[in-house]
A and B are shown apart, each in its own frame.
Chain A
Amino acid sequence: MSPDSTRLITPLKNELREDLRLVAQMIEPGSRVLDVGCGEGELLSYLYQHKNVDGRGMELSQGGVNSCVRNGLSVIQGDADNDLHDYPPHAFDYVVLSQTLQATRNPHDVLRHLVRIGRRAIVSIPNFAHWRMRLRLLTEGRMPRTAALPHHWYDTPNIHLCTILDFIDLCDDEKIKVERSVALDDLGQAYRLNPRGRLANLLAAQGLFLLQGRS
């Protein structure tokens, strides 16, 4: 690639969100990445600028897609439930699904597609076993609402919430190898905790996982 091709397409308005920065750290420079649910393309822009990544995106909201394409990113309108089956096996080095799995209709199918399409998959989920959730449910007796999951039970897009331990169980059931897992606090900072342990499941607001693709 020529040096020019790594220039900024559009300068980022803000710094990359902390959890996305951790995702970016897991990605080898120069690789091919599909970001499913790429929003306004923050991660893809960052990867393009800093890691020379050949990135693609998929986004449900038309506003997000249009803004990505306007900024020179390769993004299509689509969603994880319906539009992953087109891709051939190992089409990408990494498939990223950030904070979206809980909003899909068939999380296990989506997960299978991620490890089929990608040589690796990077998945992050909000942890419903976070102590704040537990406390709210315990003390208030109502569906918990937090900054990370602010919706009411009746209007939430998050129809398949799970805990870190639930997610790891699903990976085990699907025989998907978890290469790395990271527990994150409210601000997206990594904890120094065993992410498979009960303490991480209590303290972490999110879990971030690097999964091995199916060969």
Chain B
Amino acid sequence: MTVIAPPSPLSAPAPADRPGFRLTVTEPLALDSGQSLASYDIAYTTAGTLNAERTNAILICHALTGDQYFAQPHPITGKPGWWDVLVGPGKVLDTDRYFLVCANVLGGCMGSTGPADIDPATGKAWSLSFPVITIGDMVRAQKQLIDHLGIDSLFAVIGGSMGGMQVLQWALSYPDRVFAAVPIATAPRHSAQNIAFHEVGRQAIMADANWCGGDYIAQGLRPERGLAVARMAAHVTYLSEQALHRKFGRNLQNRDAISFGFDADFQVENYLRHQGNSFVDRFDANSYLYITRACDYFDIAAEHGGVLANAFKNTKTRFCSISFTSDWLYPTSENRDIVHALNASAANVSFVEVATDKGHDAFLLDEPEFHATLRGFIEGCAQHRGLNKS
């Protein structure tokens, strides 16, 4: 994937360990909590080329532990971009036709301002003095980037999981600036079960002595054990019982018999430990606290008198909601709540439930039915938008 030059000289290239671009916004950001950020960075990457009319831009919103490296290798893990299967010339998110932008969320740890960064007021890491942020705050910050890129109206905003929440928030906050919205494997509110799982993760981090009440950066420590356990627990929720069974069953890890001990006897244990251990190399524990909290606070209906249907009144955006049969984290029923609310506004909406046993993570994987759906929807929207194949 080639990285295109910044569309405007105002963005500076990001530091070498964070390839891509960085926008420093000096206009204060008013947050939902009532606090504000005096200035902040947004780290982002792009793929494809913005057309002269600036009508072919697609904003990609990443999930909880994702980042802006959707289309290029990750600078820490070296793994391909997290949506590499979808992005490229001739692919569903066709870089020959569309200009793709993905920004690290506010509160993140890959270059956008977050709790691991230095608070200019104190010269020390923000840590827990970083203000609590919401999905709405993340989107407000992204809007600054889209303004900066000179894009009046996004052709599409697309994202899965927490990225899907941002998609919905975009469609609500800036309806005139979103031509098409694709919320995938998401929900109009974070369910009690999902808040519960997030709390397990947060408590795992806080239980790590190295967390130091959140002050680990100043202490020169890292709560890696806690963060790894948080990741292990969360990772199970991204899969499905069938997928785990298919991948691992009760297979033993490099041994012929159980050990009558607490080693990783089973492959599934080994796999989860690996997931946990590799995660801590690329993620900040306090970022994990802040971003999970932002998801927990997400509830569209609450902002509209408790009636979800009121949220999308008179929307002109074209929606395509996609869910996966084996996703128990953001089940079809919750995705369907979004569709019902859109129907109540007689909005233009498509809804597809993709049959798969891969669980919530299916949106990141090679799922032909999902990809065909997304391709068809985008192609249909491109025709309505007058974006023709060149």
Q: Which residues of A contact B (CB under 8 A)?
A: 2, 4-5, 7, 9, 54, 56, 62, 65-66, 68-78, 83, 86-88, 91-92
Shortest Cβ distance from residue A132 to the other chain B in the assembled complex, whole angstroms: 39
Shortest Cβ distance from residue A134 to the other chain B in the assembled complex, whole angstroms: 41
A88 with B376: CB separation less than 8 A: no
A4 with B320: CB separation less than 8 A: no
Given known pairs A69-B350, A69-B376, A70-B376, the reply for A76 and B386 (CB within 8 Å) is no
Kindly identify which residue among B309, B348, B375, B388 contacts A74, using a CB–CB cutoff of 8 Å: B348
A69 with B353: CB separation less than 8 A: no
Can you list the 5 inter-chain pairs with the closest CB atoms, starting with the nearest?
Answer: A72-B380, A70-B376, A91-B346, A76-B351, A86-B343
Assembly CA distance A70 to B369 (angstroms): 9
A71 with B353: CB separation less than 8 A: no
Given known pairs A4-B386, A5-B384, A62-B355, the reply for A69 and B343 (CB within 8 Å) is no
Assembly CA distance A92 to B348 (angstroms): 12
Considering only CB atoms, which chain A residue lies closest to B345 in the complex? A88
Assembly CA distance A35 to B237 (angstroms): 37
8 more contacts with CB within 8 A, not counting A69-B320, A74-B348, A86-B341, are A2-B386, A7-B383, A66-B354, A70-B373, A70-B376, A77-B352, A83-B343, A86-B343
Assembly CA distance A107 to B370 (angstroms): 34
B343 with A76: CB separation less than 8 A: yes
Assembly CA distance A87 to B369 (angstroms): 28
Residues of A within 8 A of B258 (CB): none
Considering only CB atoms, which chain A residue lies closest to B320 in the complex? A69
A9 with B348: CB separation less than 8 A: no
B318 with A74: CB separation less than 8 A: yes
Given known pairs A66-B372, A83-B343, A87-B344, the reply for A9 and B351 (CB within 8 Å) is no
Considering only CB atoms, which chain A residue lies closest to B387 in the complex? A4
Which residues, 342 to 369 on B, are CB-close (under 8 Å) to A?
343-346, 348-355, 369
Q: Residue B148 at the A interface, CB < 8 A? A: no
Residues of A within 8 A of B228 (CB): none
Residues of A within 8 A of B348 (CB): 54, 56, 74
Considering only CB atoms, which chain B residue lies closest to A10 in the complex? B376
Which residues, 302 to 354 on B, are CB-close (under 8 Å) to A?
309, 318, 320, 339-341, 343-346, 348-354
A87 with B346: CB separation less than 8 A: yes
Q: Residue B379 at the A interface, CB < 8 A? A: yes
Residues of B within 8 A of A71 (CB): 376, 380
Shortest Cβ distance from residue A67 to the other chain B in the assembled complex, whole angstroms: 9
Residues of A within 8 A of B350 (CB): 68-69, 73-76
Q: How many A-B residue pairs have CB under 8 A?
A: 76
A65 with B352: CB separation less than 8 A: yes
Given known pairs A65-B352, A66-B369, A69-B352, the reply for A5 and B383 (CB within 8 Å) is yes
B383 with A69: CB separation less than 8 A: no
Kindly identify which residue among B339, B377, B384, B388 contacts A69, using a CB–CB cutoff of 8 Å: B377
A66 with B373: CB separation less than 8 A: yes
- For this complex, 23 residue pairs linking A to B, each with C-beta atoms less than 8 Å apart, are A4-B383, A4-B386, A9-B379, A54-B348, A62-B355, A66-B352, A66-B372, A68-B350, A69-B320, A69-B352, A70-B372, A70-B375, A70-B376, A71-B376, A71-B380, A74-B350, A74-B380, A75-B351, A86-B309, A86-B340, A86-B343, A88-B345, A91-B346
Main secondary structure on B side of the interface with A = helix
Assembly CA distance A68 to B351 (angstroms): 10
Considering only CB atoms, which chain A residue lies closest to B372 in the complex? A70
Residues of B within 8 A of A54 (CB): 348
Shortest Cβ distance from residue B105 to the other chain A in the assembled complex, whole angstroms: 28
Kindly identify which residue among B339, B344, B380 contacts A88, using a CB–CB cutoff of 8 Å: B344
Residues of A within 8 A of B318 (CB): 74
B349 with A76: CB separation less than 8 A: yes
Assembly CA distance A54 to B316 (angstroms): 12
Assembly CA distance A71 to B375 (angstroms): 9
A72 with B383: CB separation less than 8 A: yes
Assembly CA distance A118 to B320 (angstroms): 23
Shortest Cβ distance from residue B182 to the other chain A in the assembled complex, whole angstroms: 11
B353 with A77: CB separation less than 8 A: yes
Considering only CB atoms, which chain A residue lies closest to B319 in the complex? A74
B349 with A74: CB separation less than 8 A: yes
Assembly CA distance A74 to B348 (angstroms): 7
Assembly CA distance A5 to B379 (angstroms): 11
B386 with A5: CB separation less than 8 A: yes
Which residue, of A9, A72, A83, has the highest number of chain B Cβ atoms within 10 A?
A: A72
Kindly identify which residue among A4, A9, A72 contacts B388, using a CB–CB cutoff of 8 Å: A4
Assembly CA distance A179 to B271 (angstroms): 66
Kindly identify which residue among B343, B351, B386 contacts A65, using a CB–CB cutoff of 8 Å: B351
B383 with A9: CB separation less than 8 A: yes
Which residues, 89 to 120 on B, are CB-close (under 8 Å) to A?
none
Shortest Cβ distance from residue B223 to the other chain A in the assembled complex, whole angstroms: 44
Residues of B within 8 A of A78 (CB): 351
B373 with A9: CB separation less than 8 A: no
Residues of A within 8 A of B341 (CB): 86
Considering only CB atoms, which chain A residue lies closest to B373 in the complex? A69
Residues of B within 8 A of A75 (CB): 350-351
Kindly identify which residue among B339, B355, B373, B380 contacts A76, using a CB–CB cutoff of 8 Å: B339
Assembly CA distance A67 to B28 (angstroms): 47
Assembly CA distance A14 to B309 (angstroms): 39
Assembly CA distance A37 to B375 (angstroms): 23
